[in-house]
Structure 1
Amino acid sequence: MSAPDRPMALPSHLPDAEWRRKPGLSLLAEALGAAAGEARFVGGAVRDALLGIAAKDVDIATIHSPREVIERVTRAGFKPVPTGIDHGTITAVLHGWPVEVTTLRRDVSTDGRRATVAFGTDWREDAARRDFTMNALYADPTSGAITDWFGGLEDLAAGRVRFIGDPAQRIAEDHLRILRYFRFVARFGALDPASADHAACVAHAPSLMALSRERIADEMLRLLALPDPVPVLRAMVEDEVLAAVLPEINATGADALASLVTREKAAGIPPDALRRLAALLPDDAPVARQVAARLRLSNKARRRLTVATTGPADEEKGGPVALAYRIGTEGARDRILLGRALTMDALTDLPVEGALPVLPLSGGDLIAMGLPAGPVVARTLQRLEREWTEAGFPPPDQTRSLALRLVEESLREAQKS
C-alpha cells in the first residue's frame, strides 16, 4: 500500500480483522486482565489492521510480570513457552498458533546491539522505547480503542515512517533500526531523503558494522521480499548506507534489481528475496560466495546464490530444459529472470522441479559396450551426457546409438596414445 492510497485519517478504534477472530484470543485477553486495562494489543497487528492488510503476528503487552503471565496463560488452558523470558516475552500457544505476550518494559542500558530492560507498569514508558510511531499503537481488546502517544495514527495515514523521539538516539540504542527504517519506508511509506529520520540513518550507517551478519541478512532479505524495494535500494546505494557491510551492491546492481522486478511482474512470478539479492550482485560466483558467507546464509541459500550469479559455459545450448538439467529448474528460472540466460519466453518451457530427464545409460553400460574400466569411462559418460543434453534428450534407442559412437571414438583415441 503506497502513501497516495491511504485514507486522510485512520479510525480511532481497531477495525475488525481476521486475526481478532482466531480461536482462543478473546479468552487469552480476558485471562490477562484486558477488561481491567491490564493488557492491550500492540505493534504490527494493530498497525496492519488499521491499514486493512493481513497481519502475520499478534502481540499483547501487559502489566503482569513474566511469571504471572505464565500462570495466567496456564490457568486459561493454553501452553506458555518462555521464548524471550529475559526480555519479558512469553509465547502463548492457542490451538496451535502463537501469540507473544510481553511485560511492559523500559530500557536500563543499550549498546546498539542488545538492551538490558526492567519491567514496569507504565504504558507510555513502554511505548517510548519502541522504534517508530506507527509501531507504538495500542488497542484495547475489549473496546478496540486505540491509544497513541506519539502521533502514530497521523504518521501511518500519511505514509510517514518516523522514529519516536530523537532518531540518532533511537539508532544508537539498536543499530538494526537503520535497516528497519528503510524496510518500513519500502513497505508502508514514501521515501523522504530530506527528513531527519532518513538523514540520521545515513549519518549512522557505519554503525551497521557492529551488528551480527545474521541480523543484517534477515533485514535485507525481508526488504528484498517486498513488492517493490527498488526506490529505497537506490537511495541506500546513493547514500552509501550499505557501503560498510555490503560494498558489492552499487548502482549497477540497483538497475539490475529494477529490471528483475519488472520481469517478475510481467511473468506473474512472486518476489523472491534470494533471487533479488543475486540481481544486486555482479554475475560472478566468487563474489556471490563471499557475500553469502559474510551474511551467514544457509548452505542451500549459498548454493542458489552461486548458481544464480554464474551459469554453465554452455547454458545457451539445448534450450530451457537443458539449462534446467544442468543447474536445476530453480537455478534456470533465476538466471532467465535475471536476464543472464536465454529469453523470458523460455520460462514457459521449464520443467517442473523433480521432473527433469534422466540419462538412460550408466558407466556400466559403456563398459558393456566394450570400454575398459577406468577413468576413460567417466570421461566418456560426461561427453555422452553433454551431447545427449544438447541434442534435446533423445529417447533410449537414440541415446544408445550416441553412446556407441562415443565408445568407438574413445577406443580409437586410446589406441593412438
Structure 2
Amino acid sequence: MIDKLVILWNKVYSFFRRPFFSDPRTLLGLWTLLPILAGLTKIAAHRHNNFLIFRGVFWHTIQQVSLYDLYPSEYNDHNHYGPFFSLVIAPFALVPDAIGLLLWLVALSLVMYYAVRRLPLEQGKQIFLYWFCAHELLTALQMQQFNIAIAAIIIGAFAAIERKQEVLAAFLIILGTFVKLYGIVGLAFFFFVKRKPRFILALIGWSVVCFVAPMLLSSPDYVLGQYVEWFTRLAAKNSENHFSLMQNISLLGMIRKGSGCATYSDLAVILPGLAVFALPYLRIKQYKHLAFRYAILSATLLFAVLFSTGSESSTYIIALAGVALWYTTSPWKRNGWDIALLVFTFILTSLSPSDLFPRSLRESYVLPYALKALPPTLVWLRLSWELLTKNYTPLPQLQGQQDQAV
C-alpha cells in the first residue's frame, strides 16, 4: 500500500513540476485570484461578519467605545483582537465594505506569499509549499481572519533573522503579539539571532510603539482600559472554547472532546508539550545547520495551533505551512511513511471542511472530535522525534548549496 502511494505521489509531484505549474508567476496569480474569488463569494452571499468585526475595531476606537462589547446591529460575536489592530485594519475600514474586504483578503494572501519568498529556500520547495497550502489558504480566506498574516509573521520573522535583519524580525513578532498574541511564538528563534542585544532592544522599542500607537486614534486612558478588557475577553473566550464545535480544533480540543472530560486543566497537556518543544534546544551543535533551524520553524508553526484552545479551521493555514516545511527541508530523503503522513494531512486536515470530503464523516467524526488536528499532531510528534535524534548535517552534495543559502 505504501509503495503504491509513493508511486502515485511521484506522478502527482512530477505533474506539478511542469514549467507552467512551477513558474512563480503562476503561483503569484493563483494566490492573488483565490482571495478575489473568496471575497466576491462572501460579498454576494452577504457573509463577511468577521470583516465587519474588524472594521468595527477601527471605528469603535475612533468613537472611544468598548472594542469587546457586543454590537448586534453591526455584527455578530465579540472582537478578540488587540487595540493595535485598529491601525492595521484602518486602510481597509476607510473604504466601502466590498472594496475593503477584497483589498483585505488580497493583502493577507500576498503578505504570506511574500514571506515565503523571503525564506532562504530553494524555489522548488517554495512552490511545493504554495501548492500544498493553496486549498487551506482558500479556507482561511473565506473566514477573512488574520491567521494568514500570523503564518506570514512567523515565517517572515524567521526569514528576517536568517538575513540578520533583527529590527524587522522584532517588529513582526511584536506586531503579531499585539494583534492576536500568536506572534509571540516567534521568540522561539531567539537562539538563532546573531546580534542578540540589538534584537532585544528592538523588541522593547517596538513594544512601546505598538502599545501607545492606538492612542493616536483615541486617548491614553481609553487604550489602557481596552488592554484590560482585551485580556478579560480572551480569558472568557478560553473557557467558552473548550467544547465548542468550531473552536478548540487542536490537540487540546481533540483530547478534551474525545474524552468528554471537563475537569482537568489544559496545562496537563501544554506543559509536557512545552517540554518536548524545548528539549531540541539542548542540541546546540545542530544550530549551525539550516535544516535544523527550519525544523524549529516547522515545530513552532505546528505548536502554535495544536496547543491553543482558540484554534479553528481557518487557523490551520499556519500548521499546514509547518507541515510543508517539515516535508521539504530535511537533509535526508523522505520515505514512504512520510509521504503517507503528508497525504493523510492534506486529505483529513485540508480537505475535511470542504465539499470534497464526505459530509457524513465531517459532521459525525471530524467536527465533534476535532480530528482536523490529528494529522498535524502526528507530524509534530514525528518532527519532535527527529529534532531530538537526527543529525541535520547537510548531505555532501547539498553542503555548498545550503551554505550559500544561509
Query: Which is strand-richer, 1 or 2?
Result: 1
Query: Which is helix-richer, 1 or 2?
Result: 2
TM-score by length of structure 2 reads 0.25
TM-score by length of structure 1 reads 0.24
* Larger RCO (CA within 8 A; separation ≥ 6): 2
Question: Which structure has the greater CA radius of gyration?
Answer: 1
